[in-house]
Each structure stands twice: as structure tokens, then as C-alpha cells.
Amino acid sequence: MRAARLGDDEAYRRLLILVSAWLRAVARRGLAAAGRPREDCEDIVQETLLAMHLKRDTWDGTQPLEPWLRAIARHKLVDHLRRRGFADHVDIDDHVDTLAAPAAGEEGAGADARQMLAGLPERQRRIVEGISIEGRSAREVGARLGMSEGAVRVALHRALKALADTYRRGRS
Amino acid sequence: MKTEQLVSALVADRAGSAAPVGRSLVRAVAAGAVVSLAIFAVWFGPRIDLMPALATWRFDLKLVLVFVALAAAFGACMASARPVASGRWHRVAQLAALLAAALLAVELATQPSQAWGTRLVGTNALVCLTVIPLLSLAPLAVLLMALRRTAPASPTLAGAAAGALAATTAAAIYAFHCFDDSPLFVLTWYPLAAILPIAVGALAGRRLLRW
């Protein structure tokens, strides 16, 4: 994170990948404890990653990173469970759901997220798709859409905020 | 979208970072204070005897007390803007409480007990109760906007802390207008006047500062 603050993109990517693996374990445990189906797991991971990214200025650089990360993860997990109507007890019906539901891994997240991207304005959606799914740089996407690199970055930031809002309001 | 794909989008967005929490809160307080100072300059203005007043210990220590409270509220607001609590601002709050207690003790020791009542009621109580909430409106609004970009562990508490910071900012401005310098007056009416901004901040924070 420190390196990322100094402008090291690769360090930031490594950190996010590392954190998402850790988050996946945390989310799985949380969902299991609450008796929720595991297919929500990748949703929670992505929502938490988005929050961590958008709120990264709230990390105090003089403090260790882990407590901060854990606080954000807990906040998002609780938020998610509350939204799904989990009221601090494990419901039998939820277990039935789990057993009946097909074991979905990360693949399940694909369809979900495409739905979420579809909720974005056309231009923002194409920018996010270009950068994340097609793996282009901001400059390439800008050239294709006839926008400056700076404008692409601004639009990307707005799109990420909008995605975080959609998660927060709970789309289901 | 796979998580790895999301990561690519986040990395591409890395450079677009805002300021650290402390700096954005300082900016928010400054921006709000400018508006409040304008209102203050147009409708109220500093007391006429500002210069002689500066020579009295009561007025000077009133200012010191208000600014220490402002520092404590700033620390509280900054701590509440983060997902993990940090207790560093408690020290400043303790200092403010200690100072307040000392001032009160000196006032009670030096003034005859018959004078306590009049000094406590003062001449400006109602003005104080209206002007401090009025002057805290702009700082509170700007602070809440700034806090929306942060990640408070408790949105309600963060809103209340923003209310306290806005109220102490307003008090720091209002203190230059108010003739009542007795610690008895200051410690009664200033906190009472701060209740409204704190309550409004807490309610607004609950709605606006969720993340």
C-alpha cells in the first residue's frame, strides 16, 4: 500500500490480488457462519475491494494496514448479511437453500457483474469493460472512444463509485 | 466481471486519489468558517471593546478554551472518519476538560457567591444559543460533504463529531462578539448551544455517511 501510494501500479495490483484471496476466505467463513449460500462470496469480495479502493485515503500510513483492512471487511460483510435479512441467527431454511443450490465458484460472479455493469451509463460501461475485461490501458480506451486519457480516468472513477453505490443499495 | 478484472480497473484508477483525511477536514473547516465569518462580519461583528478585552485574562482564557475545544473536536472528527478507532484525540479533550475545570474553580474562588447567578445568566444567553447554531450550519454542511468520502466506523458518531467540530468552529468565531467572558457563562451556554448542531450532525450522519 505504501508503494502504491508512491505511484507503483504493480505493487497495488499485487496487494489487491493478495487482499482478494484473503477476503475470499473471510467472506466464505462469514457466509458459512451465517448459513448463507456461498455464491454471494465473490460479490462480497468485490464490494469490499471497491470500498477499500475508494476509501484508501482513510488508512493512516503510520498504522499497520491489517486492522484497517479487517475493519472494512467486517463492515462490508455485516452490511451484506443485514441487507439479505440476516438477523443474528442461523435460519434452517437457509441451510436448505445451501444444500439445494449448485456449488457456484467464481464463475457465478460473471453474470452478476455484467448485470451491474449494464446499469452504468453507456460510456462508463464501455470504459470499465475496456479496461477490466479487455485489459486495455486508459489511453487506448480513450483513443477508441475519442476521449482524452484524463477524461477516461475521471469517468472510470465515477463508474467505480456508481458500482459501489449499486452494491451498497443491494440490487437483489 | 471476475475479481481479477475488477482489480485491473482499480489499478487504472489508482492515481486519482484525494487528500488524506486530515487535510480534507482542515479544508472543509476552513471553507465553512469563511462562510460563517462572512455572516458574522455582516450581522454581528466583533465586540467594540475588543482591544481592551484582549488585556483581560477572562477573555483570553475564554479564547484559549474555545480553541482547545476546537482542536479536540477536530481530533474526534478525524478519528471517527476512519474504520478503525484511534484514541489520540482523548488527550486534547482531557486537556480541554481540565482547563475548563481550572477556570471554573478560579472564577468561583474569586467571585462572591451572590454574583454567581448574574454571571452565569449573563446578558447574551439567547444570542449565544442562536448565533452558535447559525454559524455552525456552513461548517457542518461542508464537513458532512467531506466525510462522505471517508469510511466512518459509525456514521452516527461521525456525524455527531462533525456537529461538534462545526459548533466549536462557530464558537471560536462567536467568542469574539460575546461580552460574557465569565467561565460560568461560557461553560453553561456554549455547550448548550452546541447540542443542536451535534444532534443535527448525528441525524444527518446516520443517513449521509453510510458506506
Mutate to test the interface with A, among B6, B23, B82, B209 (most CBs of A within 10 A): B6
What is the pLDDT tens value at each position of chain B, 211 positions in all?
778 788 888 888 877 666 788 899 999 999 999 999 999 999 988 888 888 888 888 899 999 999 999 999 999 999 999 988 776 788 899 999 999 999 999 989 888 888 888 888 888 888 899 999 999 999 999 999 999 989 998 999 999 999 999 999 999 999 999 888 888 999 999 999 999 999 999 999 999 998 8
Contact call for residues A100 and A36 (beta carbons, < 8 A): no
Place of cell 462522505: B148
ipTM of this model?
0.75
Measured CA to CA, the distance from residue B12 to residue A27 in angstroms comes to: 25
Measured CA to CA, the distance from residue B53 to residue B50 in angstroms comes to: 5
The sign of the torsion formed by the CA atoms of B196, B197, B200, B205 equals negative
Tens-digit pLDDT profile for residues A68-97: 898 999 888 888 888 776 555 444 444 444
**pLDDT confidence band for A102 (50 / 70 / 90):** very low
Tens-digit pLDDT profile for residues A13-46: 888 888 888 888 888 888 888 887 777 788 888 8
Q: Who among B15, B84, B149 is closest to A68 (CB)?
A: B84
pLDDT at residue A103, as a whole number? 38
The sign of the torsion formed by the CA atoms of B81, B25, B150, B163 equals positive
Share of chain A above pLDDT 90, in %: 1
Please report residues of A whose CB lies closer than 8 A to that of B149: 54-55, 57
Neighbours of A50 (CB within 10 A): 22
Mutate to test the interface with B, among A52, A55, A127 (most CBs of B within 10 A): A55
Tens-digit pLDDT profile for residues B111-127: 888 888 888 888 888 88
